[in-house]
Amino acid sequence: MSVYLVGAGPGDADLLTLRAAQLLARADVVVHDRLIGPDVLELVSARTVCVDVGKVPGTSHTQGDINELLVELAGRYDTVVRLKGGDPFVFGRGGEEALALLARGVVVHVVPGVSSAFAAPALAGIPVTHRGASHGVCVVTATAEEGRVVDFERLANVDVTLVVLMGVAQRATISAQLCRGGLDPATPVAVVQRASLEDQLVVRARLDQLADLDVIAPAVIVVGPVAALDLGLDALVDELVAVA
């Protein structure tokens, strides 16, 4: 019995790894999350059983339910793919699922994916590290375990880019705590919404304006001097044309 924990990347099917695409084409069953890009699911064979276990308000799919489902499917099918957005081991609960499967005698194969923590800033033309602006990057989720609160005051570091996943609903708290932690209210911020998809939206502002930005999930928040940069191809082309 085995299960493949596969990273689906930030959304665009072109950003899948080759191994991920091959597994989707030959999978017997694919258990996927809610935010998997539609183009990614089109790579799944018509004969494949697809199970949507995306967590939405009021859903009945608990993590325990998903773990049990994966164990059951592993006993019935040869190729079971657990498809998770981004990378399964970067805030994707892939570790929890792997432990649950291994405890039940199921072999786990991990197929890394492109994490939105790095893909979203890159697609917005933002290098998360940049000489002279940032010598490191810290990736954190704003959605902690039940009963725990992320302390953003401790994450206020002028020399390190902060990338926040699942933080749109907490953006007011993030802004206030980072300012209390010592970050300048004028620190650049960028919010990358639906990264890699056709309707990708990038909103740039100051840290003290983050709470009032009109953005919705899924989105990645980037805090630090690099958030003011736009080194995407379009920007470079415009610059070259202006120079010419």
Count CA within 13 A, CB hemisphere, residue 66: 27
Q: Is 212 a catalytic residue?
A: no
Separation of alpha carbons 205 and 186, rounded Å: 9
Largest CA distance in the chain: 64
Separation of alpha carbons 160 and 21, rounded Å: 34
Q: Provide CB contacts within 8 A for 123, sequence distance 6+.
A: 10, 192, 195, 196, 200, 232
| Catalytic annotation, pick one of 28, 52, 55, 230 | 55
| Catalytic annotation, pick one of 1, 28, 52, 166 | 166
Residues in the chain: 244
The answer to whether 219 touches 194, Cβ cutoff 8 Å, is yes
Write out the two tokens for 108.
Answer: 């786990």
CB atoms < 10 A from the CB of 238, how many? 12
| Catalytic annotation, pick one of 12, 33, 84, 87 | 33
- Which one-letter amino acid corresponds to residue 231? L
Q: Is 166 a catalytic residue?
A: yes
**Strand partners for 165:** 141, 220
Q: Is 112 left (phi over 0), alpha (psi -120 to 50) or beta?
A: beta
> Active-site positions?
33, 55, 166
